[in-house]
Chain A
């Protein structure tokens, strides 16, 4: 019998299992149970395993049993930096790249109100940055002092001006706070260095948060919880994009994950200027970048999508008359687990998903603008140029279970009415129909070649014809 791996996602609603045959490099079965992290994680896991066993007609011995988790609110983090666009932004990117859910992001000196808000948010981890190495140390020391005096009990990762770290950790540990020091998120001005902070966040997650959230009660049912689920999705995308020494990947990849509460966008690729004469502006971009749009979710934030996109745009795209839109939205807002029941609800869901994707990719993608100078026009790029992205991967229920996923994903594409937005132009569009990206990301840790083959095999193409409607590509 060939070796198998079991990949587990302790989600907020479900405990999901994927069983993979490592030699054949394919999924042999899936199992699902409820999420029971808030009571006893073992109950949901036992039910999910029973479900998998029933489908497989018995469980194979597993060589690896690896888990990710987004249960119990996910990895809730607060970030603190100095200048909003510099170290504060670098800290945000490190936390998002580590798969965190940001429950607060602060810049400059923390006020009493800020500290009170952080105490109320009660994050799992706080990331404290500020100052380049040898740069400003006053603000990070003041912020450490404010946090030291607070009631905050969570671990603090310090990734700021290295000249200030001794004083920062002294102040924190004197008041009983747990502080871990890593390299600065911005050691030199304009240099982004988020990998050490990302690795530290993951380590604290594995060492402490998994226990704090009660997931390790089921420790005999798996080997390790490796990372938060969004980080596993990012790692899965990274592997599919970059490949392994044995097999090339797909190049540059954009992953769009539309959920009930948020829309996540992951891009893997350098995204640098497409021509040498384009001037790059702003903080350098991470190769693997994740953004989370907390106001764009298909259920918890359906109202916010309508607000952001404009009611008239949603009405036009769904074909629902303006004056009936509120009535059509009401059942979604009342029941966040509701699945579309009739043609009208399907049309509304499609319009909401398209609007969420259009806005989320627009915020993730870079922009290009022409600045007129005395020596002629100059093109200035901010953020990542995604126009040459090779593959767009859609994941999450609203995309995967849609009647026409291509028409929904096409909302991510370049739009002639927004020429400044550097969105994908002619990508291949696929869907993660079996919800495998997290499993690919977990398996990448131990068997990257099998993980890559699995990912490449299970991404299902959807028609690439530009869809109908005004959001579609040229």
Chain B
């Protein structure tokens, strides 16, 4: 069964190129991609995921405000009945030079299943998605590592 993914750049962020490359790679890998593009409010990811019965939401943020924009994202999903939908976030998530493990921890604590640092290859995302979907089918929330 083809998995449906919602992608987009959250908040007042206009950086669309990386997100577009990711969306194209995901499509090529056989996923059905609902690309919301730049300047997408958090609520719109949720609305699109409901209507399309999406299996995962991939949030991009490149302008350093990601932490603010993504606050409460998992809560919104739970509120909308999407509950445990697979949530990824990636990009330049914070301003300044902060150690990645700390940034990752903060986003995982917010309810994202995975966070990806700048410079992540699209292949890496596809591998993670494939593994996480397989684990979910076995009843686990996400693959280890």
Spell out A's residues near B (CB within 8 Å).
82-83, 85-87, 131-132, 134-138, 186, 189-190, 279, 281, 371-375, 378, 380
Q: Kindly provide the distance from the CB of A38 to the nearest chain B CB, expressed in whole angstroms.
A: 41
Q: Is the CB of B52 within 8 A of A136?
A: yes
State whether A189 touches B52 (Cβ < 8 A): yes
The contact of B39 among A82, A134, A380, by CB within 8 Å, is A380
Tell me the complex Cα distance, A372–B53, Å: 32
A29 → chain B closest CB, angstroms:
52
Contact B51–A281 (Cβ < 8 Å):
no
B24 interface residue (CB < 8 Å to A): no
A137 touches B53 (CB 8 A): yes
Q: Which chain A residue lies CB-closest to B47?
A: A83
A80 to B136, CA, bound (A): 32
**Binding site secondary structure of chain B:** loop
Distance in angstroms between the alpha carbons of A279 and B37 in the assembled complex: 10
The answer to whether residues A375 and B52 also contact, given A134-B4, A189-B34 and a CB cut-off of 8 A, is no
Residue pair B51, A374 in contact (C-beta under 8 Å) = no
Q: Please list the residues of chain B having a beta carbon within 8 angstroms of any beta carbon in chain A.
A: 2, 4, 12-15, 32, 34, 38-39, 47-48, 50-54, 63-65
| Distance from A133 Cβ to chain B, minimum over Cβ atoms (Å) | 9
CA distance A270 to B15 in the complex (A): 27
Question: Is the CB–CB distance between B51 and A378 below 8 Å?
Answer: no
Q: A83-B50, A135-B54 are in contact. List 8 more A-B contacts (CB 8 A).
A: A134-B32, A134-B53, A135-B51, A189-B48, A371-B12, A373-B13, A375-B15, A375-B63
Please give me the residue from chain A that is nearest to B6 by CB atom: A189
- Shortest C-beta distance, B68 to chain A (Å), equals 12
Q: How far is the CA of A371 from the CA of B65 in the complex (A)?
A: 15
The complex places the Cα of A442 from the Cα of B85 at a distance, in Å, of 51
Kindly provide the distance from the CB of B31 to the nearest chain A CB, expressed in whole angstroms.
12
Q: Bound state CA distance, A380 and B53, in angstroms? A: 27
Distance A134 CA – B65 CA, assembled complex (angstroms): 34
Q: Could you list 9 examples of A-B contacts with CB < 8 Å? A: A83-B51, A86-B48, A136-B52, A186-B51, A373-B13, A373-B14, A374-B13, A374-B14, A380-B39
A372 to chain B, nearest CB (A): 7
